[in-house]
Amino acid sequence: MLARLIVRMIFGALGLWIAAKLVPGIHVSSMTALILAAALLGIVNALVRPIVFILTLPLTIITLGLFLLVVNAAMIGLVSLFVPGFAVHGLIPGIMAAIVTGVVSWIGGMILRDDRREYRR
């Protein structure tokens, strides 16, 4: 279980690193800042995001789920407030970073899901 958590954090860090390389307006100054941002993003997604999701559920339903991009961007922006060396400059870069990190996390989830199927057999 701890290994899965570490692997998920690695995929989160990879997603943030790719976003910093591809998205103008996302800046990471060091590997330490990247790892801290990934760890804090995991904590924020586990604790804060479910509450924000419930509070914004009507908007999410009206927009057919697209508002979740704004929620995810807000979570990344929240992390940038607390991690020195990790910065998000604006809503659009935040949304683009949310898309990039979401895709990388989805790929990581597919890889981890395959591992779980092997254990069930």
What is the C-alpha separation between 64 and 74, in angstroms, rounded? 18
Bigger pLDDT: 1 or 52? 52
For residue 45, give the nearest of 5, 87, 86 by alpha carbon: 5
What value, to the nearest 5°, has the Cα angle with vertex 74 and ends 45 and 112?
35
Model confidence over 55-114: pLDDT tens digits? 999 999 999 999 999 999 999 999 999 999 999 999 999 999 999 999 998 998 888 775
Structure tokens at 105: 């996390």
In the structure, what pLDDT confidence band is assigned to residue 121 with cuts at 50, 70 and 90?
low
Reference 74, options 60, 61, 64; nearest CA is: 60
Residue 26: domain span: 2-120
The rounded mean pLDDT for the chain is: 90
* Number of domains present in the structure of the chain: 1
- Between 99 and 7, residue with greater pLDDT: 99
The confidence score (pLDDT) of residue 119 equals: 55
Query: Residues 47, 67, 36, CA angle at the centre, nearest 5°?
Result: 40
Q: Contact 25/88 with Cβ under 8 angstroms? A: yes
Provide the Cα torsion 85, 30, 36, 112; round to 10°.
130
Helix, strand or coil, per DSSP, at residue 75 = helix
